[in-house]
Amino acid sequence: VGGTLTNVTKEELSKHNKEDDVWMCIKGKVFNVTSYLEYHPGGVQELMRGAGNDATQLFNEVHKWVNYESMLEKCFVGKLEVTTSRQA
């Protein structure tokens, strides 16, 4: 509330799971990786494994040293909404 960035719900994130529209969450931050897809050194299919999802674990398993935050700076969409029991 009152922020400039919109929080992303898991439902919204899950809609962006196609090669022409890919969002991905890493450590609570959601990125639109559509334009990065073809440049991913690990290939399109590998990156697509995390499409529309929280890809933190996959990412860390393969290359936790990669500086995704600076690489995807311009692709940042917003933070993944954390649902708590207090939210209606």
Give contact residues for ligand HEM (rule: CB under 6 A): 24, 26, 33, 40-42, 46-47, 49-50, 55, 58-59, 62-63, 66, 68, 71-72
CB closer to ligand HEM out of 2 and 20: 20
Q: Which among 39, 8, 3, 37 has a CA at the least distance from the CA of 20?
A: 37
Q: How far is Cα 47 from Cα 26, in angstroms, rounded to an integer?
A: 12
In angstroms, what is the minimal distance from the CB of 50 to ligand HEM? 3
CB 38 within 8 A of CB 78: no
CB closer to ligand HEM out of 67 and 87: 67
